[in-house]
Amino acid sequence: MKKVLILGSTGSIGVNALNVIRKFPDKFKVTGLTVNSNISVLKEQIEEFNPEFVVVKDQNKADELAKSIRSKTEVLFGNPGLIEAAQSRDFDILIGAVVGFAGLIPTLEAIKRGKRIALANKETLVVAGEIVTRLVAENGSEIIPVDSEHSAIYQCLIGENLKEVEKLILTASGGPFLNKEKSFFDNATVDEALNHPNWKMGSKITIDSATMMNKGLEVIEAHWLFGLPFDKIDVVIHPQSIIHSMVQFVDGSIKAQLGLPDMKLPIQYALSFPERFENDFMRTNLPLINNLTFFEPDFDKFECLKLAYQVLETGGTAPCILNAANEVAVDKFLKGLIKFSDIPKFINKALNKIENHSNPDIETIIECDKLTRKFVNTLN
């Protein structure tokens, strides 16, 4: 029986992780759940899974929750609660399903204890990939990716020698604006950008898919997970999202992993690895799908994708600046404060303004994140 702590249990990945865990009551036990503010959903999760503790970011909401539950579940709050959960509570697997920079510090704490990390929170690897991978190696921890592309690559690499990999090929749906002209981006609405053709996800990653920053973040994520340089990580548009990604080897052979666009499978794999558990999830019917197509991405139209490759090449705190600027810009766009086309503009301004530090330690990364947020918040 594996004990599981879910960071971000009320989000799209968190809820799907509980959908997986519910199917395997003899294999997994939920010991802890953490959320930002959605205590009504958390309350239902507590009643069903009876965790030992939960963490709520907001103290008032944590107090409100503590008064209203009957179970013995302990209620912690704030960042100190989140860090305590990762640092000293009992669990075997941490599911990193928080969105954004907020996932970094608790994930690092669990890595220092040698835990398995089922990682959806790609921002953690984007901002601090060097530190994360070093600590994983030093502490005997392991990251099993939940991001579907990286889960696909992970599965393709089983039994292979990394030295014989010629390149990784990340597939991208292209998002809701694949067939729009760049001029459309000035007037694209929040509802249009949130209307993803294949995946139902949280709002931040859905906007990232519309700008293709999501694929850019995934290129950086792949670099740290699999140790390949940026020029060996390609992106190909594949609108059906059936091939989740591929690996091309030095002899020209390509391995791919296929499946329906459903995050339950990569989540389950990150929990069950190295085993595979039988399940009743819907199967992929290839004749029904009938048609799989591929295109080159348009780097001029999707500037965020180009910027992500650039910061990966630059290194240092450049990926942290890109990430923080993107988080703030996406938040402003979602609130209707800026245009869709402002997102890459703001990121560019931040990259030009904020000083880059090479080989940053964690304090430098935290400071860089703060400075960038402050700067981008002044833009309009």
For residue 140, say whether it is annotated as part of any ligand binding site.
no
Residue 35's binding partner among Mg ion, ligand NAD, none (Cβ under 5 to 8 angstroms by kind) is: ligand NAD
For residue 244, say whether it is annotated as part of any ligand binding site.
no
Q: Does 208 bind Mg ion (CB under 5 A)?
A: no
Of 98-157, binders to Mg ion (CB under 5 A) are 147-149
What is the number of residues in the chain?
A: 380
Contact indicator for 367, 373 with CB cutoff of 8 Å: no
Residue 120's binding partner among Mg ion, ligand NAD, none (Cβ under 5 to 8 angstroms by kind) is: ligand NAD
CB of 54 to ligand NAD, least distance (A): 11
Write out the residues near ligand NAD by the rule CB under 6 A.
Answer: 8-14, 35-36, 38, 57, 97-99, 102, 120-123, 147, 199, 201-202, 204-205, 263
Cα separations in angstroms, 165 against 138, 207, 221, 366: 25, 32, 17, 34
Cβ closest to Mg ion, residue 148 vs residue 268: 148
Structure tokens at 118: 């089922």
Cβ closest to Mg ion, residue 319 vs residue 360: 319
Contact indicator for 165, 249 with CB cutoff of 8 Å: yes
Contact indicator for 80, 57 with CB cutoff of 8 Å: no
Cβ closest to ligand NAD, residue 86 vs residue 169: 86
Cβ closest to Mg ion, residue 148 vs residue 323: 148
CB of 251 to ligand NAD, least distance (A): 31
CB of 312 to ligand NAD, least distance (A): 17
Cβ closest to Mg ion, residue 153 vs residue 376: 153
Sheet containing 28-35: order of strands: 74-77, 53-56, 28-35, 2-7, 93-96, 116-119, 142-145
CA-to-CA distance for 1 and 164, rounded, in angstroms? 36
Contact indicator for 251, 185 with CB cutoff of 8 Å: no
CB of 374 to Mg ion, least distance (A): 29
Q: Which amino acid is at 308?
A: A
CB of 267 to Mg ion, least distance (A): 12
Structure tokens at 47: 């009643």
Cβ closest to ligand NAD, residue 29 vs residue 150: 150
Cα dihedral angle (330, 335, 336, 341), rounded to 10 degrees?
0
DSSP state of 250: T
Q: Please identify the residue of the shown chain whose CB is closest to the bound ligand NAD.
A: 11
Residue 344's binding partner among Mg ion, ligand NAD, none (Cβ under 5 to 8 angstroms by kind) is: none
Q: How far is CA 50 from the centre of its chain?
A: 26
Q: What 3-state DSSP class applies to 286?
A: helix
Residue 98's binding partner among Mg ion, ligand NAD, none (Cβ under 5 to 8 angstroms by kind) is: ligand NAD
Residue with tokens 């835990």: 115
Residue 322's binding partner among ligand NAD, Mg ion, none (Cβ under 5 to 8 angstroms by kind) is: none
Residue 51's binding partner among ligand NAD, Mg ion, none (Cβ under 5 to 8 angstroms by kind) is: none
For residue 68, say whether it is annotated as part of any ligand binding site.
no
CB of 296 to ligand NAD, least distance (A): 23
For residue 148, say whether it is annotated as part of any ligand binding site.
yes
Structure tokens at 289: 């799908």
CB of 86 to ligand NAD, least distance (A): 12
Residue with tokens 């060996």: 232
Burial of residue 291, with CB atoms counted within 10 A of its CB: 0-12 exposed, 13-18 middle, 19 or more buried: exposed
For residue 92, say whether it is annotated as part of any ligand binding site.
no
What count of other Cβ atoms lies within 10 Å of the Cβ of residue 283? 8
CA-to-CA distance for 20 and 139, rounded, in angstroms? 28
Cβ closest to Mg ion, residue 34 vs residue 148: 148
Q: Which amino acid is at 179?
A: N
- Which residues are CB-neighbours of 357 under 8 A, at least 6 positions away? 316, 317, 364, 368
For residue 377, say whether it is annotated as part of any ligand binding site.
no
Q: Which residues are annotated as a binding site?
A: 10-13, 38, 121-123, 147-149, 173, 196, 202, 209, 214-215, 218
Q: Which residues are annotated as a binding site for Mn(2+)?
A: 147, 149, 218
Q: Which residues are annotated as a binding site for 1-deoxy-D-xylulose 5-phosphate?
A: 122, 148-149, 173, 196, 209, 214-215, 218
Q: Which residues are annotated as a binding site for NADPH?
A: 10-13, 38, 121, 123, 202
Residues near Mg ion, by CB under 5 A: 147-149
